[in-house]
Amino acid sequence: MKIFPAIDIKDKKCVRLVKGDFDNKTEYEMSPVDQAQKYKDHGFLNLHIVDLDGALSGNTINLDIIEKIVINLDLKIEIGGGIRNFESIKKYVDVGAETIILGSAAIKDQNFLKEACLKFPNKIALGLDAKNGFLCVSGWTESSNKATIDYLKEVNDYGVSRLIYTDINKDGTKSSPNFLETVKIAEVSNSPVIISGGVSSIADIKKAKDLNNKNIVGIIVGKAIYDGDIKLEELAKELNA
């Protein structure tokens, strides 16, 4: 199972939100590039990055930071946050991002998701961010009134490279991921699924592995690292366990 340490960027800093609330955030001293270097030093090759400025503005605000991380550190990056057009996708592809995560724009316009998968084969991931079973959009500030499973069934054959499922009620809370709902998503999805939101300890990583679901291929770890609940040395051992 792949482990994706997370970096959320706002105002050029590493931050973490609680349940996607921009008014409930913690800023950390380390810069995104330095944090990425720290992850690489511990053996992590895959990173999950969210441009929170981009999520709010719809622009590739922190493209320069992503480029530095990819070029200087040679890491595999999945990047999301406000990617709403082909131009933005191309910018991230051109600086070497491995995977581009489409969320709100894909939910609001299924045809955009379909065309993106055709134009950028094996590059597009679908971010499904849900609260109480319904998808949320626009930086999690509004509900789409669309049931997660229903939407997934409608776009299941578009050819996304991976699916990232986040339970917003869990994100940033360190209260363990919503494993039950993630398994339901994985059973429906034609694409590999990554667990996101709420990882609190190494026990959550072990539980994800013990799900024994071949379609669940990775897990994202964020706030628990920054707050010291999970030591990188300990997490790194799970890479090859």
Active-site annotation, residues: 8, 129
Cα–Cα dist 117/114, whole Å? 5
β-bridge partners, 137:
142
Cα–Cα dist 65/51, whole Å? 10
> Which tokens sit at 231?
């030591």
The count of C-alpha atoms lying within 13 angstroms of the C-alpha of 240, restricted to the half-sphere facing its C-beta, is 7
Cα–Cα dist 228/54, whole Å? 27
DSSP state of 41: H
Cα–Cα dist 195/6, whole Å? 12
Residue type, 109: D
β-bridge partners, 127:
164
Q: Are 165 and 195 in contact (CB under 8 A)?
A: yes
